[in-house]
Amino acid sequence: MGSEKTKQLNHLAIIMDGNGRWAQARNLPRSEGHRAGADNVLEIVKSCRKFNIKYLTLYAFSTENWKRPAAEVNALMLLLGEFIDKKLKFMQQENIRFNAIGRLSGLPESAGKKLLYAMEQTRNNSGNVLTLALNYGGRPEIADAARKIAMAVKNGTLDVESIDEAAFGRFLYDPELPDPDLVIRTSGELRLSNFLLWQMAYSELYVTDVLWPDFKEKELQSALQAFAGRDRRFGGVNKA
């Protein structure tokens, strides 16, 4: 089936899992798996452009990933900085807006600075939106939103009676980010691992055993085909 026939998908989110297993299978250090994983990001960004998917959100580092050995965390943060250094020019050329969600102030200074610079430089780009979830957790995001809401009520800028789902959504890390239509997890684990808990209420889920560094356009196409065959009811009943 050609891409033109696949159901339109506005926001794709991916839990990029399996870098460690990819490295282990090759007797390489885990950091080499992360490097291969980082190298795969642009390939999927390009495929999303080809398939007309405007928003791509990638889970790159969770609030729980700090539990890993310091050397692995450092390698991941260095890769993030490197990715920005190397790909910013491409983002500019292709009119891609570079975006991030998470507790960004908790990132190491160097990576955090590069990230904010790239976001600032691409903020007026009107094409695709690439969002990296960094130092991100779904529960921390909801807790952070609750705190901001409480502050707004305390300051008198928000009326308690006006707090509904839409109002709550405006206090998330990126209120402009639409809910994902499809969430892909690579490497076979059947769990959400604290990703986009609020936004995923009605997302379609797709899990593949393929490890993230091996997840190429062909695998993405399989996921899009599966999505195209889904019956999204949102709690209602579809007409026959």
The residue ranges that bind ligand IPE (CB under 6 A) are: 15-21, 59-62, 65, 76, 187, 189, 191, 193
Nearer to Mg ion, 9 or 15 (CB): 15
CB 116 within 8 A of CB 102: no
Nearer to ligand IPE, 3 or 24 (CB): 24
Nearer to ligand IPE, 170 or 191 (CB): 191
Nearer to Mg ion, 76 or 224 (CB): 76
From the list Mg ion, ligand IPE, none, partner contacted by residue 44 (C-beta under 5 to 8 A by kind): none
CB 122 within 8 A of CB 96: yes
From the list Mg ion, ligand IPE, none, partner contacted by residue 19 (C-beta under 5 to 8 A by kind): ligand IPE
Beta strands in the chain (DSSP E): 11-15, 55-62, 97-101, 129-136, 182-185, 204-207
CB of 221 to ligand IPE, least distance (A): 22
Q: Please identify the residue of the shown chain whose CB is closest to the bound ligand IPE.
A: 20
CB of 24 to Mg ion, least distance (A): 11
CA–CA distance, 240 with 224 (Å, rounded to integer): 23
Per CB under 5 A, contacts with Mg ion among 15-34 are 17
CA–CA distance, 87 with 42 (Å, rounded to integer): 8
CB atoms within 10 A of CB 210: 19
Nearer to ligand IPE, 27 or 124 (CB): 27
| Amino acid present at 61 | F
Q: List 193's β-bridge partners, or say none.
A: none
CB of 196 to ligand IPE, least distance (A): 11
Interaction between residue 141 and Mg ion (CB under 5 A): no
From the list ligand IPE, Mg ion, none, partner contacted by residue 159 (C-beta under 5 to 8 A by kind): none
CB of 62 to ligand IPE, least distance (A): 4
CB of 14 to ligand IPE, least distance (A): 9
From the list Mg ion, ligand IPE, none, partner contacted by residue 137 (C-beta under 5 to 8 A by kind): none
From the list ligand IPE, Mg ion, none, partner contacted by residue 191 (C-beta under 5 to 8 A by kind): ligand IPE
The catalytic residues are: 17, 65
Phi, psi values for residue 179, rounded to 5°: -65, 145
| Parallel, antiparallel or unpaired: strands 55-62 and 129-136 | parallel
How many residues bind to Mg ion according to rule CB under 5 A? 1
CB 173 within 8 A of CB 144: yes
